Structure 1
Amino acid sequence: MEWFTAPGYGWSRLVFQRALAGVYLVAFLTTALQFRALIGTRGLLPVERLTARVPFRHAPGIFRLHYSDRFFALCAWAGCSVAAALLAGADSLLPLWAGMLLWLVPWALYLSIVNVGQTWYAFGWESLLLEVGFLAVFLGNDTVAPPVVVLFLLRWVLFRVEFGAGLIKLRGDTCWRRLTCLYHHHETQPMPGPLSWFFHRLPRPLHRAEAAANHVTQLVVPFLLFTPQPVATVAACLMIATQLWLILSGNFSWLNWLTVTLAVSAVRFPGGARPAPAAPLWYEVLVLAVAALLLGLGVRPVRNMLSRRQVMNRSFDPLHLVNTYGAFGTVSRVRHEIVVEGTADPVPREDGDWREYDFKGKPGDPLRAPRQFAPYHLRLDWLMWFAALSPGYAEPWFGTFVERLLENDRATLRLLRRSPFPPDAPPRYVRARLFRYRYTTWRELRETGAWWERTCVREYLPPTRLADRRP
C-alpha cells in the first residue's frame, strides 16, 4: 500500500528515535541510582509490600514474578544498556522485526518499574514515556519508510499533551484566565532551576504575555499539527520553542524534553526523503491492528478532556497505552518547604544543636542557588514539595524516611546532598519544621547573597527518636 508510508519523514523518525532513546537512558539511570532507598527491600515503600496486595492484572510486570534488589538493579542497568544501544543506532543495523523487538525491551522494562514504583512513579511523564515508547516500537527502522499511521498517532499524543494541559488551566485556577499565574509560578513551582529567580523578577506585563502565549500554544496551535506541511512543521516548532522556555525556567524532569521529542516527529526536515523498500505485509497488518486498538482505547482520554471534571495525569489501562495529561491546573501563591533537622543532644530542646539536612534539588539553605537537574529526576525532592502542600502526601513514607535518617541508612543518605552527621554517629532525634520561602529582591540578593528568605511557620514533625519509630 503506497499510502502506508511517508518517505519524507525519514530524518524526523531518526531524530525522534535517538532523542527518545536519550530520554529512556535518563529514566533508567534515575531508577538505577535511587530505587534502593525508595522502593527496595528496605525502601520507604517496598515493592514486595505492593505486590502482596495488588493483583497482577492491575499492575503487570516482571517484578510480579520475582523481586530482589539485585534483580531490580540488573533490570535497571539493562534498560540503560539497551537505551544506550538505541541511542547509538543499533536498531538500524537489524532486520525490521529485530529492531522492533529491541525497542520493545525498554518499554517492557520501564512498564514493570512504573507499575511497582507507587507514588514515586506517579508523575505524568512516566505514563507519557510509556505511551510514546510503545508507539516507537512500530515506527520501524531504515528497512522501511515511517508509517503514516504511527506518525499520526504520535501527533495525536502531542495534541492531547498540549490541549489537555491548556484545558486544565482554563478550567482550574482563575489566575490563568486573568493571566496572572506567572506572578507566582516561578517562585512556587516544585523545583526551581538556576534561572527561575530571574524569570520571577521579569516585569509583570511580560508575565501576562507569557500566560497569553501559553494559552495560544496549548489551545490553538495543537490543531495545526493535522494541517498540511509546512504549517504542521511551524506548529511543532512553536511547541518546541515553548518547551525550551520551560526548560530554562525550571526543573520538570524529562517532561519538556519528551514533549520536544514528540514535536520533532511532526517536523519535516529538508531532504528528509530517504529511499527504503516497501513495507512487508505482516508489518502493515500489525501496525494497522495496533492503531485500531489505540484509537479504540483513546475514547476515555477524549471524554476526560471534554469533561468539566477533567483530571490530570491518569492512565486508563495497566499497560499505560493511553493516558491523560496536564499540569498546574492550580498555581500556589505561597511556597512552603519542609526543613528536616537532627540533633545528637540527649534531650531535644528548642534551642539545642539542631543541624539541617541538605537536599540536592529542593530549596534549603537560603544562600544556595537553585541548580539544574532536569531531565534527571530527583524523586524524593519532588515528593517533599508535595508533602509541604499537605501531610496527606507524606503519610505513606515520611515516617519511614525519618527512621532511615535516625539509622544513618546509607542508601537514603545518598538521596541527599549532605548529612550533617558522620556515618558512625547518627542523630538521636530528628524533627521537621515547615517554613515559608520567598525569593529575595534584587537589593537583598546584592546585599546578602541570599536567593531565598524564609520564615518558620510551624512544627511539621516533633522531635522523634528511633525508639518512637520502633515500639
Structure 2
Amino acid sequence: MEWFTASDYWLGRLVFQRALAGLYLVAFLNAALQFRALIGERGMLPVPRFVERVPFRRSPSLFQLHYSDRFFAGCVWAGCAVSAALLAGLDSLLPLWGGMLLWVVPWALYLSVVNVGQTWYSFGWESLLLEVGFLAVFLGNDEVAPPVVVLFLLRWVLFRVEFGAGLIKMRGDACWRKLTCLDHHHETQPMPGPLSWFFHHLPKPLHRVEVAANHVTQLVVPFLLFAPQPVASAAAALMIVTQLWLVLSGNFAWLNWITIVLALPVIAFPADPPAVPGAPLWYVVVVSAVSAVLLGLSHRPVRNMVSRRQVMNRSFDPLHLVNTYGAFGSVSRIRYEVVVEGTADEVPREDSDWREYEFKGKPGDPRRWPRQFAPYHLRLDWLMWFAALSPAYAGPWFGALVERLLENDRDTLGLLRRSPFPADAPPRHIRARLFRYRYTTWRELRETGACWERTYVREFLPPTRLTGAAPGP
C-alpha cells in the first residue's frame, strides 16, 4: 500500500492536527461563553424556537433531538475537553480506529452547534472549520503515514479558499481591479485591530502593492499547491506569510488562522519519517470511499467559482462537507457604527442623561484603541457591524437585544465590555443612533489622543421601553 501514503508529510500532519485541535478549542470555548445570550432558552434567537420550524434533515444537530441550556453547555464543554485532549496528542496513543473516532467527536459536536446557531453562526469560517475537521478524521495517526488522497483534499480546500476569494474580488468591487480597496478597507473592516489605524495610514503606493500582491497570492499561487516539491512548499509558505499580514491588520476570528493551518500539511518539513506499518485494508477502503464522495460533491463549488454570479461562503449540504468561500467581494468606503444608549429618566428627552454601552471589540468611544481578539470571535460585535450597513441585518435579533438590555440581563451584559447601569437599576429607555466613524490623522491623534472621529448621522432606533412598563408622567 505504499502508493496510498506519503511518509514525508508525517511532521506536517502532526503540526496540522495539533493546530486544528487548538482552533477547535477556541471555537468550543467561544460557544460555551456566549451561547446563553445568543441562542439559549432566553437568548436573542433561541434554539427551541428554531428547531420548531426547521426539520432535522435540513439542519442535523443533537439539539434537534433535545435542547436545554444545561445540555448545550455540557456538549460544548465536552468539545473543549476533547479538543484539549487532541491538542495534547491523545489520538496518537490510541489505535488507528480509536484516533479516527476521537476526531469525529469535535466535528459532530460543532456541526450540531453551527446547524442551530442561525445568524450568529453564518460566517464562512464555521463551514471551513467543519470541512477541514471532517478531513482530519481520515488523516490517520502515528500508526500509519498520511494518506495521499486526504493530503490532496486538504490542498483542494486551501485552493478553494484562496482562489474563490481572489475571484470574488475581481468580479466584485471595481476598487480591487483599480488596486485602491486598501485606501478604505482597514478603516471600514468589521472589527479593526490594534494595528489597523497604522495600516490605514501607510502610503497609498504601498496599498497598491498590497492589493497587487494579494491578487498574485490568491489567483496565481494556489495553482502551485499542486506542483512538485519544493514549489508546493514555497507556495504554502507564501500563503502563510500573507495570512499573518492579515492577522496583524484586523480581527477576522479564526479565518486567517485556519487558512494557515491548512497550509501546514502542504509543506514537506525536513525531518526523517518514523517507521510505520503499511495502511490496513479497511482504512484504505474507508478513506478511498469518503474521498470519492467528497470529490464528487466538489462539482458544486467549482460550478460556483466559474459562474459570473459567484456567491461567497455557501454550504451546499447540511453536513458542510464541501463548501464555497470568499471574502470582501465589496469594500465599504464609509464606516458606520450603531451606538446604543440608555437612560434612567422616566420621560426620554434629547437632553436626558443618555449613557453609552461599550462593546468589547467594535468601535465606540473614539478614544478607546481597538484590541486584538482573533482567533476568538465576538459574534455580537460582528453582527453590529452588519446592522450599521443595513437595519435589515438586525431585524431578527436587535429588538431582543434591546429588551435584554432593558432587563439588565446578566448573560447579555456579559457580551459587552461595560454597562453604564448598575445591576439592580436597569435603564428605563434604550435608544440607538447611527454615527459615521473615520480614523483620525496623525496630527489629530497627537492633539486629542483619539483614534476615531465620529459624526452623528441619524436615529437608528427611537427611545424604547419594555412593553407593559408604566408610562412616564
Q: Which TM-score band applies after superposition, normalised by the shorter structure?
A: over 0.9
Tell me if 1:407 matches 2:416: no
DSSP-derived class of the 1:265 partner: helix
Residue matched to 2:288 = 288
Give ranges in structure 1 of 5+ residues lacking alignment. Answer: none
For 1:400, the aligned partner's letter is A
Residue matched to 2:394 = 394
Structure 1 427/26 Cα, relative in aligned 2: closer, same or farther at 3 Å?
A: same
Residue matched to 1:201 = 201
For 1:268, the aligned partner's letter is A
Q: For the Cα contact (< 8 Å) 1:8–1:274, is it kept in 2?
A: no
Tell me if 1:229 matches 2:214: no
Structure 1 144/469 Cα, relative in aligned 2: closer, same or farther at 3 Å?
A: farther
Shift of 1:29: 0.2
Residue matched to 1:321 = 321
* CA distance in 1 between partners of 2:464 and 2:470 (Å): 11
Q: Deviations over 1:26-77 (max 9, x none)?
A: 0000000000000000000000111000111000011111000000000010
* CA distance in 2 between partners of 1:49 and 1:277 (Å): 51
Residue matched to 1:10 = 10
Q: For the Cα contact (< 8 Å) 1:170–1:177, is it kept in 2?
A: yes
Residue matched to 2:240 = 240
DSSP-derived class of the 2:11 partner: helix
DSSP-derived class of the 1:328 partner: coil
Q: For the Cα contact (< 8 Å) 1:10–1:272, is it kept in 2?
A: no
RMSD: 1.0
Where does 1:126-137 land on structure 2 (aligned, <5 Å)? Answer: 126-137=126-137
Residue matched to 1:435 = 435
Q: Deviations over 1:346-395 (max 9, x none)?
A: 11001110000000000000000000000000000000000000001000
Residue matched to 1:99 = 99
For 1:277, the aligned partner's letter is P
Shift of 1:276: 1.0
Q: For the Cα contact (< 8 Å) 1:361–1:373, is it kept in 2?
A: yes
* CA distance in 1 between partners of 2:382 and 2:31 (Å): 15
Structure 1 469/452 Cα, relative in aligned 2: closer, same or farther at 3 Å?
A: farther
* CA distance in 1 between partners of 2:136 and 2:261 (Å): 12
For 1:432, the aligned partner's letter is A
Residue matched to 1:31 = 31
Give the fraction of aligned pairs with identical amino acids, expressed as a percent.
Answer: 80
For 1:234, the aligned partner's letter is A
* CA distance in 1 between partners of 2:197 and 2:79 (Å): 36
DSSP-derived class of the 1:247 partner: helix
Where does 1:280-429 land on structure 2 (aligned, <5 Å)? Answer: 280-429=280-429
* CA distance in 1 between partners of 2:151 and 2:293 (Å): 16
Tell me if 1:162 matches 2:165: no
Structure 1 418/293 Cα, relative in aligned 2: closer, same or farther at 3 Å?
A: same
For 1:110, the aligned partner's letter is Y
Q: For the Cα contact (< 8 Å) 1:403–1:469, is it kept in 2?
A: no
* CA distance in 2 between partners of 1:368 and 1:256 (Å): 25
Shift of 1:275: 1.7
For 1:182, the aligned partner's letter is L
TM-score (norm 1): 0.99
Structure 1 469/77 Cα, relative in aligned 2: closer, same or farther at 3 Å?
A: farther
* CA distance in 1 between partners of 2:70 and 2:49 (Å): 17
Q: For the Cα contact (< 8 Å) 1:243–1:257, is it kept in 2?
A: yes
Q: For the Cα contact (< 8 Å) 1:120–1:383, is it kept in 2?
A: yes
Residue matched to 1:75 = 75
Residue matched to 1:255 = 255
* CA distance in 1 between partners of 2:392 and 2:470 (Å): 22
Shift of 1:469: 8.9
Paired positions, count: 471
Q: Deviations over 1:279-313 (max 9, x none)?
A: 00000000000000000111000000000000000
DSSP-derived class of the 2:445 partner: helix
Residue matched to 2:277 = 277
* CA distance in 1 between partners of 2:245 and 2:218 (Å): 14
DSSP-derived class of the 2:57 partner: helix
For 2:18, the aligned partner's letter is R
Residue matched to 1:148 = 148
Q: For the Cα contact (< 8 Å) 1:251–1:373, is it kept in 2?
A: yes
TM-score (norm 2): 0.99
Residue matched to 2:448 = 448
Residue matched to 1:467 = 467
Residue matched to 1:19 = 19
* CA distance in 1 between partners of 2:200 and 2:187 (Å): 6
For 1:299, the aligned partner's letter is H
Q: For the Cα contact (< 8 Å) 1:12–1:272, is it kept in 2?
A: no
* CA distance in 2 between partners of 1:203 and 1:272 (Å): 46
For 1:431, the aligned partner's letter is R
Structure 1 68/289 Cα, relative in aligned 2: closer, same or farther at 3 Å?
A: same
* CA distance in 1 between partners of 2:128 and 2:320 (Å): 8
Tell me if 1:183 matches 2:183: yes
Q: Deviations over 1:199-235 (max 9, x none)?
A: 0000000000000000000000000000000000000
For 1:209, the aligned partner's letter is V
Q: For the Cα contact (< 8 Å) 1:9–1:272, is it kept in 2?
A: no
Q: Deviations over 1:303-349 (max 9, x none)?
A: 00000000000100000001000000000000000000000011100
Shift of 1:468: 6.5
Q: Deviations over 1:143-163 (max 9, x none)?
A: 000000000000000000000
Residue matched to 2:58 = 58
Give ranges in structure 2 of 5+ residues lacking alignment. Answer: none
Q: For the Cα contact (< 8 Å) 1:359–1:418, is it kept in 2?
A: yes
* CA distance in 2 between partners of 1:155 and 1:296 (Å): 16
Q: For the Cα contact (< 8 Å) 1:96–1:140, is it kept in 2?
A: yes
Structure 1 runs of 4+ aligned residues shifted over 3 Å read 468-471
* CA distance in 2 between partners of 1:17 and 1:197 (Å): 34
For 1:409, the aligned partner's letter is D
Residue matched to 2:119 = 119
